[in-house]
Amino acid sequence: MAIPDYQTVMLPLLQATKDGRDHALSDIIDELGNQFGMTAEEKKELLPSGTQNTFDNRVRWAGTYLFKAGLLDRTGRGVIRITGRGLDVLKENPTRIDVKFLRRFPEFRDFQQASRKADTEQKIEEEEKSETPEEMLESSYQSLRRTLAQELLQRVKKCSPRFFENLVVDLLVAMGYGGSRKDAGQAIGQTGDGGIDGIIKEDRLGLDIVYIQAKRWDSTVGAPIVRGFSGSLDAQRARKGVLITTGKFSQDARDFVNRIEKKIVLIDGEELAQFMIDHGIGVSEVATYTVRKADLDYFEEE
């Protein structure tokens, strides 16, 4: 099944504490995962940032909202307990607890007013989304990143072959290959021999070398081109190669490199644009946002 959103988690989370005892949130997360019939893969699924499990994030935000509404209390680091108000709510036998339900409590309305500066209609629309605040932030970030990647790829396709060669050099050096920028610049675009566009050091010591072919193809690159590049590596007695294109690789091409003994890495246009963003090639920083959370250890008294 799909991973439940944080509002769907609210009622089961509150019910898991109905015995009135202290509960470690980590234990409840495991319990709820089993209750929802989640697979091992779903339990391990990460947010796009890769910093936290998606389901963990949703359960913790459900707990935060129940805490703000006075239905749960925090009795220690990662430990929660149901409140009298929470028990009263369960006596109502609700079929669902969500943001709309929690607005009946003044503390929760105050929390919303403090955390939202927009008008009431916009606030309600945003709060009733199924995503947690981190998911909304990351969704916006990924949307901006996809748009930027598309723009970069369009610009790369319009640049000259020589500029494209220099771009590849800049990227590979930024990724840690090629030794110095001068060494890499001399290596790329100089051979043009048998399907090889350049040679670059695998590391700064030059313990091994990587052969490169970089072409601005608009169409799909099929297995014949990849086989030709592989044959060029054989002629050089080379074991490693990188084939970069502004287009896409066919499935046959990707299957071919998985079957051979040599290590050939295929980088298509979309991957090229993502690498450019990750390593700061052709992009500039507009803004940086730091997301912080309360340090619970700081507030624990001896």
Residue 53 near residue 45, CB atoms below 8 Å: yes
Is 143 inside any structural domain?
Answer: no
Domain boundary among 68, 99, 131: 131
pLDDT at residue 82 above 80? yes
pLDDT at residue 25 above 70? yes
Distance separating alpha carbons of residues 282 and 278, to the nearest angstrom: 11
Is 290 inside any structural domain?
Answer: no
Is 301 inside any structural domain?
Answer: no
Average pLDDT, the chain: 84
pLDDT at residue 1 above 80? no
Measuring CA to CA, which residue among 30, 24, 98, 25 is closest to residue 65?
A: 98
Distance separating alpha carbons of residues 15 and 122, to the nearest angstrom: 31
Maximal CA-CA distance, the chain = 79
Same domain, 95 and 33: yes
pLDDT at site 246: 92
pLDDT band of residue 123 (cuts 50, 70, 90) is very low
Same domain, 256 and 178: yes
Same domain, 78 and 180: no
* DSSP line for 269-296: HHHHHHHHHHTTSS-------------T
Is 1 inside any structural domain?
Answer: no
pLDDT at site 118: 41
Same domain, 261 and 157: yes
pLDDT digits (tens, 9 = 90+) for 265-277: 999 999 999 999 9
pLDDT at site 196: 65
pLDDT digits (tens, 9 = 90+) for 160-203: 888 888 888 888 888 888 766 666 655 555 545 555 677 777 76
Is 294 inside any structural domain?
Answer: no
pLDDT at residue 97 above 50? yes
Same domain, 76 and 169: no
Residues of the chain with pLDDT > 70: what percent?
85
pLDDT at site 130: 74
pLDDT at site 236: 81
Q: What CATH number does the domain containing 256 carry? A: 3.40.1350.10
Residue range 51-60: average pLDDT?
A: 90
Distance separating alpha carbons of residues 248 and 269, to the nearest angstrom: 6
Same domain, 168 and 253: yes
Same domain, 201 and 117: no
pLDDT at site 184: 63
pLDDT digits (tens, 9 = 90+) for 135-171: 888 888 887 888 889 889 988 988 888 888 888 888 8
pLDDT at site 179: 65
- Domain of residue 258 covers 153-278
Burial class (CB in 10 A: 0-12, 13-18, 19+), 9: buried
pLDDT at site 140: 81
Residue, of 1 and 105, whose pLDDT is higher = 105
Number of domains in the chain: 2
pLDDT at site 169: 82
Question: Tokens representing 171?
Answer: 């990227």
Is 148 inside any structural domain?
Answer: no
User: Whole-structure pTM over 0.75, yes or no?
Assistant: no
**Tokens 């050089």 correspond to what residue?**
236
Q: What distances in angstroms separate CA 92 from CA 13, 41, 86, one per listed residue?
A: 16, 35, 10
Same domain, 99 and 160: no
pLDDT at site 120: 43
Same domain, 239 and 125: no
pLDDT at site 198: 75
What sections of the chain are H helices per DSSP? Answer: 6-15, 25-35, 40-44, 54-68, 84-91, 99-102, 106-115, 120-127, 133-158, 161-174, 181-187, 223-235, 251-259, 269-278
Same domain, 16 and 123: yes
pLDDT digits (tens, 9 = 90+) for 200-247: 777 666 677 888 888 888 889 999 999 999 988 888 888 889 999 999
